[in-house]
């Protein structure tokens, strides 16, 4: 859905969208497995640059939710994650920033991005927001044992015979603390 500048010049735009699983490309490792729902509104915000010039920013406010499939960061098994969030974004015409120092920004709070052409594509907004809302390293479960670094076996499923057992530094540090507390 294009949030068009032309339409915004007439009135505020409300949206309530359900975007199918194959519309937005989240990259190779992330698959959307449920419709991405988003609702919100957009309106124009006029900014003054210097004395004369006025520029038109597009402010987009809304929320979203969907379910994604990705791989566990340790054992690489597929896992599902519900991702939700909300946003309040300001889109400034690309190029409007060059060489301007005194500007009144009516919405300090909003994050600033840029648009070109006729407006802002909601799908682009959502793609970025979903990726930002994703956990950096999702694991299938907190105590996932991951893959053996030597033979590659999934240690959640089977134990291998490699000589060095995989020990996470995090756990050994915890054990040290525990030992100290007990002594």
Comparison of 102 and 142: residue with beta carbon closer to Zn ion: 142
Count of residues touching Zn ion (by CB under 5 A): 10
138, 77 Cβ separation under 8 angstroms: no
Comparison of 59 and 74: residue with beta carbon closer to Zn ion: 74
Residue 148 interacting with Zn ion (CB under 5 A): yes
Residue 178, Cα to own-chain centre: how many angstroms? 37
Q: Spell out the alpha helix ranges (H) of the chain.
A: 5-10, 122-133, 169-182
Comparison of 133 and 144: residue with beta carbon closer to Zn ion: 144
Other CB atoms closer than 10 Å to residue 55's CB: what's the count?
16
H or E stretch at 111: strand 111-115
CB of 157 to Zn ion, least distance (A): 10
Residue 19 interacting with Zn ion (CB under 5 A): no
CA distance linking residue 3 with residue 8, whole number of Å: 8
Residue 150 interacting with Zn ion (CB under 5 A): yes
CB of 34 to Zn ion, least distance (A): 22
Map the footprint of Zn ion across residues 44-83, applying CB under 5 A. Answer: 72, 74-75
Q: Which of these segments, 22-30, 54-62, 83-91, 162-170, binds Zn ion (CB under 5 A)?
A: 162-170
CA distance linking residue 169 with residue 74, whole number of Å: 14
Residue 155 interacting with Zn ion (CB under 5 A): no
Map the footprint of Zn ion across residues 102-141, applying CB under 5 A. Answer: 140
CB of 65 to Zn ion, least distance (A): 24
Nearest to residue 101, comparing CAs of 66, 49, 30? 49
φ, ψ at 123 (rounded to 5°)? -60, -35
Place of tokens 């060095």: 164
Residue 174 interacting with Zn ion (CB under 5 A): no
Residue 166 interacting with Zn ion (CB under 5 A): no
Residues binding Zn ion (CB under 5 A): 72, 74-75, 140, 144, 148, 150-151, 160, 162
């Amino acid at each position: 859905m294009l949030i068009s500048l032309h339409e915004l010049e007439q009135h505020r735009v409300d949206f309530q969208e359900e975007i199918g699983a194959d519309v937005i490309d989240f990259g190779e490792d992330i698959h959307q497995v449920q419709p991405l729902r988003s609702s919100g509104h957009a309106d124009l915000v006029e900014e003054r640059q210097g004395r004369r010039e006025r520029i038109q920013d597009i402010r987009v406010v809304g929320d979203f939710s969907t379910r994604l499939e990705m791989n566990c960061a340790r054992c690489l098994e597929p896992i599902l994650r519900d991702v939700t969030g909300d946003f309040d974004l300001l889109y400034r015409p690309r190029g409007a920033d060059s060489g301007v120092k005194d500007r009144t920004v009516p919405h300090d709070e909003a994050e600033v991005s840029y648009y070109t052409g006729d407006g802002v594509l909601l799908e682009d907004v959502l793609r970025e927001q979903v990726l930002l809302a994703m956990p950096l390293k999702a694991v299938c479960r907190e105590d996932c044992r991951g893959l053996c670094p030597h033979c590659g076996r999934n240690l959640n499923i089977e134990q291998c015979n490699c000589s060095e057992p995989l020990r996470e530094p995090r756990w050994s540090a915890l054990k040290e603390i525990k030992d100290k507390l007990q002594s």
